[in-house]
Homo-oligomer: A and B are copies of this chain.
């Protein structure tokens, strides 16, 4: 059964909020994520339940079904492939791609996505470091940890960001914290959790705990 654009957006939100189908998700959380009202969410949940992409028990939140997970991963795959296209081919900055990809992900054409994937040389990660599901919905997970949870002296490489907002990404650009950068934790302030890190063995950088919590590192 075909999903509408709105249904795809809801399903994707549910997938993300449920941490890939592991947790159940509340009406209010979905409303916050989609920026809509809980009443509208209740309506939509009934519809998604009827289409059997979620399991919906009134008042007790929703769980995504296997079918739903497959659909959500299909949309996520398209979103991330388009983001790669925009950055690699059209010279978009990584903070400019999200809104456009949010529209492009709903274009219906399996051939288009297959060809786009090939054209981009089968990328495994999007510009924010998030993994691109393959055509079967399989995701290559990279073990990664939030920067604020690393210990003193530990080293690693920035592999992704949790927050893809333009404001956050532009801040990272400004301070030179890009994906692929090698980092080392030089200092952690007990009081507020802020930290000092060494970037690429040459530049030191201070950041708040909030910022660090949105930077994901592969340890080494």
Contact residues of A with B, CB < 8 Å?
A: 86, 89-92, 96, 99-100, 103-104, 107-109, 111-112, 115-116, 119
Contact = CB atoms under 8 A, between A and B. Distances in A.
A87 B58 CA distance: 48
A81 to B, nearest CB: 12
A90, A96, A99, A119 interface centre (most CB from chain B within 10 Å): A90
Contacts of A116: 90
A214 B91 CA distance: 39
A109 B92 CA distance: 12
A91 B107 contact: no
14 contacts: A89-B119, A90-B112, A90-B115, A90-B116, A90-B119, A92-B111, A92-B115, A96-B111, A100-B107, A100-B109, A100-B111, A103-B108, A103-B109, A104-B104
Contacts of A103: 107-109
Contacts of A119: 89-90
Identical subunits present: 2
A96 to B, nearest CB: 7
Nearest to A5: B5
A89 to B, nearest CB: 6
Nearest to A115: B90
A88 B10 CA distance: 34
B91 A115 contact: yes
A112 to B, nearest CB: 6
Given A90-B115, A104-B107, 10 more contacts: A90-B116, A90-B119, A91-B115, A96-B111, A100-B107, A100-B111, A100-B112, A103-B107, A103-B108, A104-B104
A60 to B, nearest CB: 36
Nearest to A100: B109
Contacts of A96: 111
Contacts of A99: 109
